Amino acid sequence: MRIISGNYARRKIIAPKGSETRPTTDRFKETLFNIIENSLKINLKNKNVLDLFAGSGSLGLEAISRGAKNCTFIDKSIKAIEAIEENISFLELNSCCDCYKLDVNKIRKFANDPNKKIDIIFSDPPYSKTDINEIAINNLIKKNWMKDSVYIFLETSNREPISSISGFEVLEKRIIGDSLLTIYLSSSY
């Protein structure tokens, strides 16, 4: 696995050992960031990003490489958190990255730092458990983690129905290999 573009382009990153995670493909990641930067015209500079169900942290690290200000990584797997922390350390990104070993049902109140409220969420839940995505988003809303205008980029199996998220509208759906990318924008929550 590698970072595709930006300040850390072509740098290798590691994935957690074992079969608990399903790494995001380079094709999916490249398509995702092309949509962000070219179709949606989102400038990642000064954006706070959340990599939810982070696995290796590949999406959050790609966002940092492309200019995001900060990334928070959440995964409940200790192997995933260890891999993410190793990637952060290897890339010397400790000052702009935070890792939390958390179950999405136990997301706690944010530290009330308005400078770290989330602008963009990358969510890649296990394919068999995509219903936990809405639970996670609702917990983030209740605990005041997000800014008023938030994009969610959800990766699911292309064989699963699209999940709705209360307070968010679907902007786009795109099949990329075996995955479905669904893009949401907060309308009001």
3-state secondary structure 28-92: HHHHHHHHHHHHCCCCCCCCEEEEECCCCCHHHHHHHHCCCCEEEEEECCHHHHHHHHHHHHHCC
- How would you write the pLDDT of the chain (189 residues) with one tens digit per residue? 899 999 999 999 999 887 666 778 889 999 999 999 999 999 999 999 999 999 999 999 999 999 999 999 999 999 999 999 999 999 999 999 999 998 877 776 655 566 788 999 999 887 666 667 777 888 888 888 889 899 999 998 888 777 788 889 999 999 999 999 999 999 765
- 105 within 8 A of 133, measured Cβ to Cβ: no
- 66 within 8 A of 6, measured Cβ to Cβ: yes
If you count them, how many residues does the chain have?
189
DSSP letter for 137, please. Answer: H
The 10s digit of each residue's pLDDT in 14-52 is: 998 876 667 788 899 999 999 999 999 999 999 999 999
Assessment of whether the complete model's pTM goes beyond 0.85: yes
The token pair at 126 is 């296990």
Q: Which of these CATH numbers, 3.40.50.150, 2.60.40.1080, 1.10.10.10, 1.10.3720.10, describes 26-186?
A: 3.40.50.150
